[in-house]
Amino acid sequence: MADIQDRFKENTESDLSNQIGKEVRVGIIGTGWIAEAHLENYMKMPDVKIVAAADLVPGKAQALFEKMGIAEGVHFYESGHAMLEAEQLDAVSICTYNCQHAPCAIDALEHGVNVLLEKPFTVTLDEAVEVMKAEKKSGKILTIGFQPRMSENMQMIKKIVDSGELGKIYYLQAGGGRRRGIPTPYGTSFIAKETGGIGALGDIGSYSLDMLLNAVGYPKPLTATGYTSDFFGKDPETYPGHPEYAEAFGVDDFAAAFVRLEGGIMLDFRISWAMNMDTAGDALILGTKGGLRIPSTECWNGEFDKPLRIYKNVAGSEVSYEVPLKTLGGFGDLFYKKLRSFINAVQNDGKATVPSSEIIYNQAIIDAIVKSSKLGREVEIEIPEI
């Protein structure tokens, strides 16, 4: 598995050119909250034709399209599989809850369709491996929906590390996390075991991991000592007016871990949907020549709103300086860029912007934290051959 990055060799540079290419026929699998953001942004692209959509809930897909005024000529289905069987699609956006990511992605790839899969990649490492096997067999594009990658601010973190300004990186600390923010505005799909599968770990922990691991070139994870808890998720007082959510809660609302990465890097990770603290701290990258502080964000919508700060010793003096924010484009702008880079790749036989060969390591860490927490000890991270 050590050579997986070499064998897949995707291009991590995003092609964001806005030129209009050949028509791409798109289908949507899962038409809940995030599907609306996919539709809004595909609608801005004259070369994208949304031809079909599917949701397990009868009538849900059509209702969303009618609300958005784009139902005419679109075919609606009650499962992703039925849509894939009936339609000739170039690409799908998979916007299902986490537990349906792997089956839908494998199904789409087996039908020869390019896939934009919402984050997190999957629930378990085994599922991610199966998706990658289908990807390899199909030769199609699979990209994972981490839109913060499109942020110039986040790209700046990687540029700083790559510039050598920080020297050799030996320690990463994940930060942020919510004081109270268990996502239940649309019911229980994020918090039930059978739909969400994993909680804060997958929902916002995967973003936090992606920011740090992307910055240091996605080193392979080796071992993890993980902890997860659910004290707030399981407490009826967390949900005024909806005590039944406590009963439905079957995932983590907090997680922490020490993870050893290849190249002698230690990752100190924590994430929270709910805790009795305002923040679990800023994210830090420590190197032999400098340290980088990435300001804590509560929500993980893909942007941070305070400047980065670099700490160094210069001629025997301790100095620090700000790296100004590049942009404050916001969620909509990043979302458009995520979809556009996928469509451009489909049109030009291009590469995934956020490739599975990287995100498999993100998923392996999440998987190891869950396993280690259950076992109460450190676990070795083994990624099967693909």
Q: Which residues bind ligand NAD (CB under 6 A)?
A: 29-35, 54-57, 60, 79-80, 95-98, 100, 104, 118-119, 145, 147, 186, 189, 203
Cβ at position 122, least distance to ligand NAD in Å = 10
Of the candidates 89, 109, 91, 93, the residue with the CA atom closest to the CA atom of residue 55 = 93
Q: CB-wise, 129 or 334, nearer to ligand NAD? A: 334
As to burial, measured by CB atoms within 10 angstroms (0-12 exposed, 13-18 middle, 19+ buried), residue 284 is middle
Q: Provide the β-strand partners of residue 291.
A: 286, 311
Do 28 and 92 meet the contact criterion of CB atoms below 8 Å apart? yes
Which residue minimizes CB distance to ligand NAD?
32
Closest distance of CB 183 from ligand NAD, Å: 7
Quick count: other Cβ atoms within 10 Å of Cβ 73?
9
- Count of residues making up the chain: 386
As a whole number of angstroms, the distance between CA 20 and CA 45 comes to 8
Least separation in angstroms between CB 83 and ligand NAD:
8
Q: Residue 53 Cβ, how far from ligand NAD at the closest point, in Å?
A: 9
Q: Identify the sign of the CA torsion 32, 38, 40, 45.
A: negative
Q: Which is nearer to ligand NAD, 194 or 262 (CB)?
A: 194
Return phi, psi of residue 218, to 5°. Answer: 50, 65
- Compare residues 203 and 252 and give the one whose CB is closer to ligand NAD: 203
Minimum CB distance to ligand NAD, residue 32 (Å): 2
Q: Please give the DSSP secondary-structure letter assigned to residue 79.
A: S
Is 367 buried (19+), middle (13-18) or exposed (0-12) by CB count in 10 A?
Answer: buried
Q: What is the smallest separation between the CB atom of 191 and ligand NAD, expressed in angstroms?
A: 11
Name the minimum Å distance from CB 382 to ligand NAD: 25
| Of the candidates 145, 377, 164, 168, the residue with the CA atom closest to the CA atom of residue 257 | 377
Count of CB atoms within 10 A of residue 112's CB? 13
Residue 33 CB, nearest approach to ligand NAD (Å): 4
Closest of 332, 221, 322, 235 to residue 269, by C-alpha: 221
Residue 327 C-beta: closest distance to ligand NAD, Å: 18
**Cα–Cα distance for residue pair 380/260, rounded to 1 Å:** 10
Q: Between 27 and 226, whose beta carbon lies closer to ligand NAD?
A: 27
Give which of 118, 114, 132, 136 is closest to 344, Cα–Cα: 114
The CB-based long-range contact list for 326-333 (8 Å cut-off, 24+ gap) reads 326/152, 326/153, 326/155, 326/156, 327/151, 327/152, 327/153, 328/303, 329/151, 329/152, 329/303, 330/301, 330/303, 331/37, 331/147, 331/301, 331/302, 331/303, 332/37, 332/40, 332/41, 333/150
Looking at the Cβ atoms of 46 and 185, the one nearer to ligand NAD is: 185
Cβ closest to ligand NAD, residue 10 vs residue 107: 107
99 pairs with which residues across the strands? none
- Residue 70 tokens read as 């784009």
Residue 191 or 283: which CB sits closer to ligand NAD?
191
Judged by beta carbon, residue 37 or residue 141, the one nearer ligand NAD is 37
Nearer to ligand NAD by Cβ, of 63 and 70: the residue is 63
- To the nearest whole angstrom, how small is the minimum distance from the Cβ of residue 293 to ligand NAD? 25
Q: Please say which residue, 285 or 335, places its beta carbon nearer to ligand NAD.
A: 335
